[in-house]
Amino acid sequence: MNTRVTVFLIAFGGFIVRFLRLGTIENDHYVYLARAHQMLHGDWPVRDFVDPGFTFGYLLSAGAAALTGPSLLTEAVVSVAFFTIALAVTFWLVQRACGSTAVGVLMSAALVLFPPRLYNSSKMMVLVVAIAIAWAYSGRPTRGRAAALGLWTAVAFLFRHDYAVYIAAAVLVMLGVQHRHDRRLLLDRALIIAVVSLGAVAPWLIYVQLEQGLPAYLSAAMRFSEAESNRTVSHWSPIYYVMTAVPAAALLIGLRGNRGLSAAQVTFATVLVVVSDLVLLRDAPGARLPDVYATTAIAGAIALGALAPPQSRSGLGWKTTVLVLFAVVAATCVWLISQRSVTRSVGLLSRWHQVATRLREARPEIMPNPERALLVAYIERCTATDERVLVGGFGPELPVLSHRAFAGGLPDWIRGYYDFPADVARARTQLARERVGVAVMLDGGDAFAASWPALASDLRDRAFQPHYLQLSTGPVELWIPPRIARDRLTGLPCVDANSTR
């Protein structure tokens, strides 16, 4: 069967199955999505809200939302599309590394059954596409392909700054292996990659310099990374050593290359996997393992391709390939429909409609914390459309689901983050020019005031008073400015007189 047809079938089936399996949109996803929707409210990154270093993570979502509407359905389609691209590229790379369509299909099926969290789909895509471009360059190291590699490095930087570090490390090693006998060519290609990368990110860097200043921006990003590290990194889990053993073994086994790959191609892939694993498996490896399944599968295929005898490296016939694909998709769909989250009588088309409707309407069952649906409804009902929400604690979904902009430059205020004097001063300046309709103190007002006393004082100076909304999990503290009206459902202050009792 033609490889392109197989890739299309895998991508098409992967998109369908991944979409049908969508359930709760994790609260971490809203860290990106809140910034995307903030742009639809008229705010600009860096100038009006904090960018910790994942620019494309919300810019692409903002563009899609501007074109088709700011719904969770739009965001889900974009994220699943990223996953689909990564899935198709992974199949092609695995097949090339080990010479077996069967292995490629089985690896793809495993990725469909055990995908990364939705918001990490771009992480999977960025790294596997980098491998594909690097392999293309190594196969024919032209200036054009070097420029393509430099451009993708810039794209990786804009998705998340550390992605570019992983790719750059792998590029340097690959170039050293590829052009070890021609130093002049090595320097020429390295210069092309560096110049194209810098040129592609230059507009963003210039914008940051004008709005905030690069030193201040980079300092804030480093403080954010340090806070993340302090929160997540405790010790290296044993699974980290197991996962990194795969690319290490692939490097040792395949360093001399095999029939499908050169030593430079093997080096790029394995170094990229090892370097990225240092960060991506830093915490809660059970949840993060799917993030590295694709790159680890490629490394495993490299080792398999180097060890397998020539006669076992033949591909499947087209009939067998179709049957395998059909079996994988059918088995996944049967498994899906049998789950408790899906009614026994529902069909695939009905399931598609059910998932799309839940996302479009942002129903409580797909919220990360369904018990907060009452809180979301109160915010949307009892604040003006031009008022903002300040969230103390981890709740980035609240401004998104209530269709309100967030206040103070951040979608949520988590203890241990952005408490540096420069960050607080910037937030106070931002907050002073914003209309805040409610401050949600998920961790309690005292905890917020202890971490950011100046911000709490500013809110109190604006006559915000504490109130309590009873949820199924307990009361949540709300700081609300003076209101004349009262909400007839909760009895809390409300901006809309039509909601009075």
Give how far the C-alpha of residue 305 lies from the chain's centroid of Cα atoms, to the nearest Å.
31
Instruction: Between 428 and 255, name the one with better pLDDT.
Output: 428
- pLDDT, average across residues 374-397: 96
pLDDT of residue 59: 96
Return the minimum-mean-pLDDT range out of 11-15, 235-239, 341-345, 379-383. Answer: 341-345
Query: CA separation (Å) from 422 to 229, 315, 419?
Result: 20, 59, 8
Nearest to 336 by CA among 115, 21, 118: 21
- pLDDT, average across residues 39-48: 95
- pLDDT, average across residues 242-250: 87
**DSSP per residue, 124-155:** HHHHHHHHHHHHHHHHS--HHHHHHHHHHHHH
Contacts of 68 (CB under 8 A, 6+ apart): 74
pLDDT of residue 314: 45
Residue 156, pLDDT > 90, answer yes
Split at pLDDT 50, 70, 90, the class of 345 is very low
- pLDDT, average across residues 387-416: 96
Split at pLDDT 50, 70, 90, the class of 162 is very high
**307 three-class SS:** helix
Per DSSP, the chain holds a count of helices (H) and strands (E) of 20, 7
Q: What is the mean pLDDT of the chain?
A: 88
pLDDT of residue 239: 76
Q: Is the dihedral of CA 184, 190, 192, 195 positive or negative?
A: negative
pLDDT of residue 439: 97
pLDDT of residue 284: 62
Residue range 121-152, pLDDT digits in tens: 999 999 999 999 999 999 999 999 999 999 99
Angstrom distance (rounded) from CA 401 to CA 373: 9
- pLDDT, average across residues 35-53: 95
Sheet of 474-480: strands edge to edge?
405-406, 388-392, 436-441, 474-480, 465-471
Residue 316, pLDDT > 50, answer no
What kind and span of H or E run contains 441? strand 436-441
Q: Which of 176-190, 249-263, 314-328 ranks highest by mean pLDDT?
A: 176-190
Split at pLDDT 50, 70, 90, the class of 182 is very high
pLDDT of residue 310: 56
Angstrom distance (rounded) from CA 152 to CA 127: 10
Angstrom distance (rounded) from CA 91 to CA 94: 5
Instruction: Between 348 and 87, name the one with better pLDDT.
Output: 87
- pLDDT, average across residues 435-446: 96
Angstrom distance (rounded) from CA 398 to CA 153: 34
Map out the domains of the chain as residue ranges.
3-318, 369-499
**Residue whose tokens read 């909601």:** 499
Residue 317, pLDDT > 80, answer no
pLDDT of residue 224: 85
Residue 6, pLDDT > 90, answer no
Split at pLDDT 50, 70, 90, the class of 324 is low
- pLDDT, average across residues 427-453: 96
Residue 337, pLDDT > 60, answer no
Residue 164, pLDDT > 90, answer yes
